[in-house]
Amino acid sequence: MKFDVLTLFPEMFVPIKESIIGRATKSKILEINLVNIRDFSDDKHKHVDDTPYRWRVWNVN
């Protein structure tokens, strides 16, 4: 079974290797592919946030 995990913090998944899931990956039952979203950023600072949405409150009488 293969899982692709899209995340901004791939280092957060390091402790998984010490659990039951880690034993399943070592025995080739499970495959986990961590994808860092920042790797696909076009910005030189690797920003992934979108521009804020600006909405107007119309004065309706």
Chain segment 3-56, per-residue pLDDT in tens: 999 999 999 998 988 899 999 999 999 999 999 999 999 888 888 887 777 776
Token pair listed for 31: 């495959």
**pLDDT at position 53, please?**
74
**pLDDT at position 52, please?**
73
Token pair listed for 59: 């004065």
**pLDDT at position 31, please?**
94
**pLDDT at position 43, please?**
85
Spatial separation of the C-alpha atoms in residues 37 and 50, rounded to whole Å: 13
Spatial separation of the C-alpha atoms in residues 32 and 50, rounded to whole Å: 27
**pLDDT at position 56, please?**
67
**Helix runs in the chain, H state only:** 20-26
Residue 30 to residues 1, 4, 23, 40, 43, Cα–Cα distance (Å): 5, 11, 9, 25, 34
